[in-house]
A = this chain, B = another copy of it.
Amino acid sequence: MTLIARHSNVDQLPPVWAWTNAIPQRAQPQSRRHTPWPWESVLMLLSNTLTRQHRVLQAGDAVYRAGEHLSNLYVLNSGFVKVMSLASDGREQLVSLKWRGDWLGFDGMATSHHSCEALALDTSEVWAFKYEALLAASAQTPELLTVLHEAMGRELTHDRDALMSVCTLPAEARVAEFLCHWVESLAARGLRTDAITLRMTRAEIGNYLGMTLESVSRALSKLARQQVISFVEKRRRDVCILDLKALTAFIQRQ
């Protein structure tokens, strides 16, 4: 339990946060691509200008389902959500993972009907905003519109990064990048980045990264063998990041 290694730059831990399982720490230096955004002030802006509806979800519950009419956009206030795209022939694709502060529901804007499903992977809380009300408020408050567009732009950028990843990187590198991106997401929210709790099966990770669950398992085993990561006891979903530099190096070569 206390075997989790800590990065040396953790000099002081802030008070415990209402955040799933993870203990917050000082904000860390950000990566190049994923610059921090003031999601806390965004949440405040939203609370001040709009009425919201809170919704608590258990793991497995859907925020929205494919085909549903787009009536709300959502902001994830706590927990962890996966977004699945469904093809008519039965293929499923995990296209995005969402953390605190992320928006949900943009995939419904093209046709007014959601083209994806958003499923909670952990106990989660979302704030639901009526799409119409959001648009109306945006007309009054340009700041709100900017916030919305920034979020959409980030989603677009993320999807394209994902596409580049599966198109240009070999399987092992994709797994390494997956872990790095997870770390960045935690860092951007001021959470500790020395250990991550994958609340997904190997099959889900594999689907997300375009490979089989066996390849995911092998890649993780190799990273562990090389002391880049380690697992907490027998819990193979709790990953300690032993050497972030080595992990990022894995993305580039091989």
Contacts and interface: CB of A to CB of B under 8 A. Distances in A.
Interface of A: 32-33, 35, 85, 87-89, 91, 93, 95, 106-111, 115-116, 135-136, 138-140, 142, 145-146, 149-150, 152-157, 159-164, 166-168, 207, 209-210, 252
Nearest to A131: B149
Nearest to A168: B91
A244 to B, nearest CB: 17
Contacts of A85: 160-161, 163-164
A89 B93 CA distance: 27
Contacts of A168: 87, 91, 93, 210
**Which of A89, A91, A110 lies at the interface centre, i.e. has the most chain B CB atoms within 10 A of its CB?**
A110
A168 B155 CA distance: 21
25 contacts: A32-B88, A85-B160, A87-B168, A91-B164, A93-B160, A95-B160, A95-B163, A95-B164, A106-B152, A107-B153, A107-B156, A107-B157, A109-B149, A110-B150, A110-B154, A116-B160, A135-B142, A135-B146, A139-B139, A139-B142, A139-B145, A159-B160, A163-B163, A166-B210, A168-B210
Nearest to A141: B139
Nearest to A108: B153
Identical copies of this chain, number = 2
State the 6 A-B residue pairs at the shortest beta-carbon distance, nearest first.
Answer: A109-B153, A110-B153, A167-B210, A93-B164, A159-B159, A110-B154
B152 A156 contact: yes
Contacts of A93: 160, 163-164, 167-168
A216 to B, nearest CB: 13
A159 B89 CA distance: 18
Contacts of A161: 85
A71 to B, nearest CB: 14
A102 to B, nearest CB: 13
A173 to B, nearest CB: 11
A145 B132 CA distance: 11
A107 B149 CA distance: 10
B157 A110 contact: yes
Contacts of A88: 32-33
A166 B164 contact: no
B156 A163 contact: no
